[in-house]
Amino acid sequence: MSRTVRRPEPQRAYTRDDICTAALALVDEEGLEALSMRRLGARLGIEAMSLYHHVRDKADLLDALHAAVLGKLEPEGVKGDAWRPLLGGLARALRSALLRHPNVVPLFVQGSVRAPEAMGVLERVRHVMSDAGFAESDIVNAIHVVGMFTIGHVIFETSNRDKPGRDVTFRFGLEALLDGVARTGTRPAKRTKR
Partner DNA sequence: ACCTGAACACCGTTCAAGT
What ranges make up the beta strands (E) of 32-151?
none
Indicate the residue among 159 and 192 with the shorter CB distance to a copy of itself.
159
Is residue 137 classed as helix, strand or coil in its secondary structure? helix
Q: Phi and psi dihedrals of 193, rounded to 5?
A: -80, -15
d(CA 23, CA 61): 8
Indicate the residue among 78 and 107 with the shorter CB distance to a copy of itself.
107
Residues in contact with a copy of itself by CB under 8 A are 105-106, 109-112, 141, 144-145, 147-149, 151-153, 155-156, 159-160, 168-169, 172-173, 175-177, 179-181, 183-184
Q: Choosing among a copy of itself, DNA, none, which partner's interface includes residue 67 (Cβ < 5 to 8 Å by kind)?
A: none
Least distance in angstroms from the C-beta of 15 to a copy of itself = 30
Indicate the residue among 36 and 169 with the shorter CB distance to DNA.
36
Q: How many residues does the chain have?
A: 194
Closest CA to 142 of 155, 154, 130, 156: 130
Least distance in angstroms from the C-beta of 58 to a copy of itself = 12
Cβ-based neighbour number of residue 40 at 10 Å: 22
